[in-house]
A and B are shown apart, each in its own frame.
Chain A
Amino acid sequence: MSILVDKQNKVIVQGMLGEKGTFHTKRMIEFGTNVVAGVIPEKGGSEYLNLPIFDTVCDAVEQTGADTSIIFASSPFAGDSMMEAADAGIRLCICITGRIPQQDMMRVKRYIKGFDESERMQLIGPGSAGIISPGKGLVGVMPSYFYREGDVGIIARAGTLGFEAAYQLHKADIGISTSVGIGSETITGTTFVELLERFNTDDETKAVIMLGEIGGLQEVEAARYFRDHMKKPVISYIAGVAAPKGKRMGHAGAIITAYGESAAEKIEALKECNMPIVSDPSIFAESIKEFL
């Protein structure tokens, strides 16, 4: 098994025409992901990268049976794209685009919650690096060549930190079941807790690396879930010990505004839940090895 993405996903691409969309669509196809169509308003009926193009997500879903979407549309339009996917019955939506206005995300989340739970789309991102289940599927922008099949799950807010961890595992001959980039915007879809829950019941995952950072409180919620429900080892890293308060460190969500959001305060809260913490980001592989 793996979580969220395997060989079954039928993937459409929203915002495929741009440089990023084109580049990563090709890479996903090369990887073996079942990309079935693209959605480009006004270009419906044409072809791009040998894929059929539809005007709307609804058309694409009806014609191809797509259940998964990946979004590269630029930030002013990405909120609209997410809602269109939810409306069309897409089950899993990965929004790579970041820097989306907060109020757009507030509305997107509110809109998605309006669906009955059984029909509700799972949103990963925005600002996500996507999902990769090595040997099965890539719906994301990971450089797949150093992701090998295995039994470690990775959840990362920051894309590059997830890559770094995967690369360290690769060098140490450790494989990955699924790696998910959840993004580090102020408001995001899926959280650490929801993904820990999935890894908890995934037969192929033996241990999880959780890569958090400053801003927000979701790492602390994840630590509580770990303490109360997690049956597998999890190691965590919180980036931003050296970050000052009130400064936005690259990501929209990486800003300390309230108590509990700094790295030191989070680490304190994680320790209280007995979650193992790695303080050196160059030793992820060694640290997870102990638990395999």
Chain B
Amino acid sequence: MDIHEYQAKELLSEFGVTVPQGGLAYSPAQAVYRAKGIESENVLVKAQIHSGARTAAGGIVPCSGEDEIRKAADELMGKCLVTRQTGPKGQIVHRLYVEQQMDSVREYYVGFVLDRQMERVVVMASADGGMNIEDRYNQKPESLIRAVIEPAVGMQTFQARWIVFKLGIDKSLLTQMVTTLLGCYRAFRDLDATLVEINPLAVTSDGQLVALDAKMSFDDNALFRRERIANLRDEAQEDPLSRKATERGLNYVRLDGDIGCLVNGAGLALATLDLIQVAGGKPANFLDIGVGAQPDVVNKAINTMLADESVKVILVNIFAGTNRCDWIAEGLVAAIKKFNVSVPVIVRLAGTNAKTGKTILQESGVAVVIAESMRDAAELAVEQVK
């Protein structure tokens, strides 16, 4: 789960990271009011969307004085921002963060992620802050410094010092930098984060180390024990269909094709998308109804897929191991009748009670095409949209 910049800054500041003064606004009037609480004349009006690279998309506007702030806020609020991270659809701005503008003399990058191979948290740091770190890494991998954290004891002060010296940071900033690094690590650990990133981490002309932008993501599987983090979710930033599907307990990812897929099991669902692609089609979604699906789950899944107007055909691929094809078939028939499904439905049933399932479909009177194999099903579906 992702959160906004202002939320990440609030969390990190509780762990000892210095952030600029700022306040959240839902309207231009509120933005002006927030600016009054900031000591400096120059502020930034920052669009709060779940994406980086906002500056290039015009999502961060430097302002001075009430009029400029009101104008910038007015323009940003409700605007659809397309950044290199949002995809072509972009994200709509519903919240603004008004923040003190800082003068930076140097900018660093600091990031904490889990390294899957090592099964440890890794700190990455670079003296080239501000820019896109992936680009930087691709150009000059040796400029990225990495330290591995031993999970049993956590990040140690010597590791933070090592990073400071490696980066060539002025020694007068040693304490501040160590506090920042250790704070980020504790935030990562204590809040079940999957990413903590400060980019840029700036040194100001008066010798302060300040996080100018911050990003945090969290482990969805740990939200049950992080109620505070779970409450930071901004549903307006999520695809409405995906959100609905999650509420219904489905595993759904919207894609950009036109063949709706309903599959049991994530692995089989992935394989189904692949087969569609091999057959020359494009899937509209990934949808895993789970391994032990009951008839009402099929109902929810069909309902979710139909809400996506780009779906021109539905492909159902069920391999019943611990569940049963007759349940799935019953659920399908009921859902097709209930929602008056008008797009063609291709069904492949295999495994437990597959025969009974097929009989149910054939005798139901609803129009479905039964495919014998996964590949047939994919090919039939692709034919329908051509």
Contacts and interface: CB of A to CB of B under 8 A. Distances in A.
A147 to B, nearest CB: 11
Nearest to B226: A101
A282 B373 CA distance: 7
Contact of B253 (A23, A143, A187, A247): A247
Contact of A186 (B114, B120, B322): B114
B89 interface: no
B270 A254 contact: yes
A260 to B, nearest CB: 10
B37 interface: no
Nearest to B279: A280
Contacts of B292: 20
A214 B238 CA distance: 23
A261 to B, nearest CB: 9
A101 B222 contact: yes
B321 A249 contact: no
Given A100-B221, A280-B278, A242 B351 contact: no
A241 interface: yes
Nearest to B320: A143
Q: Which of B255, B267, B288, B319 has the most CB of A within 10 A?
A: B267
A160 B319 contact: yes
B69 interface: no
Contacts of A280: 275, 278, 375
A187 B319 contact: no
Interface string A94-110: 00000111111111011
B151 interface: yes
A233 B251 CA distance: 35
B269 interface: yes
A196 to B, nearest CB: 17
Contacts of B352: 143
* Majority-rule SS of B interface residues: mixed
B119 to A, nearest CB: 5
A106 B114 contact: yes
B140 interface: no
A106 B278 contact: no
Interface residues of A, number: 58
Q: Which of A156, A184, A187 has the most CB of B within 10 A?
A: A187
B66 interface: no
Given A160-B321, A280-B375, A248 B253 contact: yes
A250 interface: yes
A160 B114 contact: no
Contacts of A242: 255, 270, 273-274, 276-277, 283
Interface string A217-257: 10000000000000000000101111110011111111000
A249 B222 contact: no
Given A102-B114, A250-B251, A159 B219 contact: no
A146 B375 CA distance: 21
Contact of B116 (A76, A99, A163, A217): A217
Contacts of B251: 250
A141 B292 CA distance: 11
A211 B152 contact: no
Contact of B221 (A184, A214, A241, A252): A252
Interface string B165-203: 000000000000000000000000100101000000000
Contact of A241 (B268, B277, B319): B277
Contact of A103 (B192, B268, B283, B351): B192
Interface of B: 114, 116-117, 119-121, 151-152, 189, 192, 194, 219-222, 224-225, 251, 253, 255, 264-271, 273-278, 283, 286, 288, 291-292, 319-322, 350-352, 373-375
8 contacts: A103-B219, A106-B119, A158-B270, A164-B350, A186-B114, A239-B270, A280-B278, A281-B271
